[in-house]
Amino acid sequence: MKTYLNIPALKSNFLKVVLIILIGFNFSHEIHGQEKKVFNHDYLMPTKGKSMAEIYSGIPYVAIGQYSYGLSDRFSVGILYGYTPFVKGYGFRIKAILAQPSESFRINLKAPFIYYPNMEPHDGDSWVAVWPAVNGELKLKKGARIWAGVGLIGVSCTDLLFGEEDHDEPDGPVDPVMPPKEEEMELNSVFNTFQIGYSKPLSNKISFVAEVAPVMEGFKLKSPNGFLDDIPVIVTLGMSYTF
């Protein structure tokens, strides 16, 4: 599972998207600040019978979109699709409110399940990744929310899961610029995350969302092993819209 990235292109695309999002956020913030309104949009849950669309950029992906539907006020399911400069993936995501002891505090679960048909141009293997994460979230007076939590990321080759192929020999030509490392990533791996995030409602239907999640092995950042080698941090910036 090689995930070598075109870092200059990734940074350029990421900075462009971040700039657009921040301009829109600041513009909306100024307008709403002048109106002195307090909005109560929930960035996480669409509530029962409603839908939510989300679009994000960050690291390692350039763009990812999601549509989710509220099966109840505390549980929703959705489909997602996204891509990095080289890798496309799609899957589904569940979101749930596990507990809400007060109006201003809740504990939530977010768990995306993503399938990658081909991890790299020279890698014909398909992979799956899951990331269940539990967060404690605090709602501030003006509708903004902050959260922190922990999660686990599991990645595995589908051939290993279903016992289809022997992976002793690499498939395809060797990249002359970025040759395979001697310690190639294991065919399945588990990492832990510690994430912190922030959301700000821009209206009663739209919220700005930001989250940073270092990918770790215990209490240290993960070592290079073929998965998120260049930047072992997942960064998410974007918008959620309820309709």
Residue 217 near residue 210, CB atoms below 8 Å: no
* Helices within the chain (DSSP H only): 7-35, 158-162
Beta strands in 127-171 (DSSP E): 127-130, 133-139, 145-157
Each residue's pLDDT, cut to its tens digit, for the chain (243 residues) gives 444 445 555 555 555 555 555 555 555 555 444 456 788 899 999 999 999 999 999 988 889 999 999 999 999 999 999 988 778 899 999 999 999 999 999 999 999 999 988 765 555 678 899 999 999 999 998 899 999 999 999 988 887 766 655 544 444 444 433 334 434 445 678 999 999 999 999 999 999 999 999 999 999 988 776 667 678 999 999 999 999
All residues at 6 or more sequence positions from 30 whose CB lies less than 8 Å from its CB, including other chains = none
Tokens of 70: 């509220």
Question: What is the distance between the alpha carbons of residues 137 and 149, in angstroms, rounded to a whole number?
Answer: 9
Go through the chain and tell me how many residues it has: 243
